[in-house]
Each structure stands twice: as C-alpha cells, then as structure tokens.
Structure 1
C-alpha cells in the first residue's frame, strides 16, 4: 500500500506568511494496525535551496562563510548566533538549482565559477520544514575571484568570507566550532571522496 492510500482528509491553514509560510496541516493517517488516526502537524515552507563546498586542490583550502543566524542565537547561553557554513542560498521562482548555486557563489564569496557537480540532495529537517537542499562541490582558483563577495545589500546580508585549510576545517568540526549540518556533510563528502589531501 502506498503512502497516498494511507492519507485522507488533508487540510492546510496558514499560521504565518512572512519570510516563508508556516502551515498547520490536519490529516487522517492509516496505521499498520488498520486504525485511522487524525493527526496535526506544523510545516514550514521557505522553498528549496543550494549549497556548495568550494575547494582548491593545489592549496588544500576550502571557502566557507560566517554570518549571523537569529534562529540559533540564545542570549541565555554561549550560542552567539554566528554560523560557519558552506556558501548557500535560496532558489528563486523557476530558477534551476545549478544556476542558483553559481549565482550564490558570486554574490556571497565573490568567485565566478562555471562548472559545478551536484553530489546529492537532502532534507535537513523533514519533520518540520519542506526545504530540499541541492548539494554541490566545485574547484576554485584565484583567477576566478571577481570581487570581495559579502552578500547582497538589498537582502540585508553581511557575510564574512573564509578561506581555510581543509585540515583546519576538520579540526573546527571536531572542536564543535562548525555545527551547520550541511557544512559537516559536505566536508565529510570531500573527505570520503579524497577531494583534498588531509
């Protein structure tokens, strides 16, 4: 039996419609014991996005970003809200993910790349958000640098560009300085596939 046959009476209502859309979803779900139960969930739809690990094989370096993320800021703990991440961004309406990631690289870190490799797709938090992340890797060289990056001012972005040795990045993950799931996955992908020497 398909999941479609185990769902009925799906209704959605909008709880908030600001940066993304927060829905309350009610539905009936057929459990394996043959009983139908009415369930309620909240789902957040902010569209899908891309992220990319830029690496320089010759120098043994990668490009990451550091920026403030309000969702992880906690004034009552040591969480300061600063997040070290791979270059990433949201896909515009009707935009191809490949085109999106190339655009984001230029906007955020100032490199003009032509060739990217999509390595996998993932749902980071499928229990709560609809977002799908398209994950990429690409080599960069110094001659691809066209400006300083830093994000788009109209989108209120303030992004610090970091060029770090791959060894340093692995250490930062080990020491819990890097906590972003996509970044950890991409670094581990690079490690498994030996994109850079360790």
Structure 2
C-alpha cells in the first residue's frame, strides 16, 4: 500500500497487515430498581493464554452482515443476559486496535429494570457461549474499576463515560 506522508511531500510504500474482523457492539447497562450495573462473565481464549480466562465485561457481540448495530445490541442483550430493552444511547464508535484491525465498536448505554428480564440469557447455544450475569452496585463500580476488575477497553471506556457523564457531584 502507499499513503501520503504527514509533514513532508511524497509518499510511503509499505506492507501492512489488517485483520478484517467486522464491527461489534457493546452495551453498558444500568438496572435502575437495583441501582446496579449488569455485566457478563465468560471464558475468553485469547486472555486465557495470558492467565486471565474469565472476563468481566459489558454485553457485547459481533454485528452480522447487513445488521444495524442498534438491532445487534438489542439482540445481544436478550441472548447474553435475558433482558428486553428499546432505548439505547450511543456513547461512541471507535477503533479498539487501529494498527492492525478494521473492527469498529459501537458502544451504547441503556437503563433497564428487573421486570425487563423476560428471557433466560446465558448466551447463544449455537455460538457455544456460557455466560453468567454479574450485577455490581453503582456505589461499588469505581472501587471495582480502581482494583482492576475490568481489563478490557470496552468496559473501561463505558464505565469511565458513566462516571464522567452520569454521576452528579
């Protein structure tokens, strides 16, 4: 590939590798009647290779070809934790690893209450998912963040967004 130089005239010709991954969604979910955030806990092979097999993370998933990211988010919420929701607020869309991957993550926020848990959740059997729903009280979230309970960018960005934008001083 060839691209222009930033501060000089001319161009650079180089070989680059790009994993064409497709886009993903993630959703920070706040359950209002329990004053809790809803997370998933599941096995992740890449992190298991670094001695962290179980990840505490936001509901997340891959956007299927032709699927709207918001529709994907609602589907993943139902599949992974069994809640139904209609209203999603887009926090941001970003590249988690722009040096080597084409994936963009569409990060959302939503509020639910416990009556909206109408399905079992636990993940899609066809995808061999085994997901546990974890609730963390709002007043414990900063402590959990500070203690390193979250070691993935999706969760870190979502929680920090909440702390910066939704917590009233």
Encode CA deviations 1:65-118: one digit per residue, 9 max, x unaligned.
0111111123xx6x2321110001111111111111000000000001111111
Structure 1 residues 1-198: aligned runs within 5 Å = 27-31=1-5, 32-74=7-49, 79-194=51-166
Could you tell me how far 1:41 is from its partner in structure 2?
1.4
Q: In structure 2, how many angstroms separate the alpha carbons of the residues matched to 1:100 and 1:29?
A: 34
The answer for unaligned runs of 5 or more in structure 2 is none
Higher RCO (C-alpha 8 Å, min separation 6)? 2
* Structure with greater Cα Rg: 1
8 Å contact kept, 2:28–2:38? yes
Quick one: distance in 2 between partners of 1:98 and 1:162?
23
Q: Distance in 1 between matches of 2:105 and 2:10?
A: 34
Q: Following superposition, which runs of at least 4 residues in structure 1 exceed 4 angstroms of deviation?
A: none
Residue deviations 1:111-136 (CA, integer Å, cap 9, x gap): 01111111211111111111111111
Whether the 8 Å CA contact 2:31–2:114 is kept in 1: the answer is no
Query: C-alpha separation between the residues in 2 aligned to 1:193 and 1:29?
Result: 38
Q: Normalising by structure 2, what TM-score?
A: 0.92
Deviations 1:141-167 (A, max 9, x none): 111001221100111111111111123
Superposition CA RMSD, Å: 1.7
> Larger % of strand: which?
1
- Identify unmatched segments of 5+ residues in structure 1: 1-26
Cα distance between partner residues in 2 of 1:29 and 1:98: 34
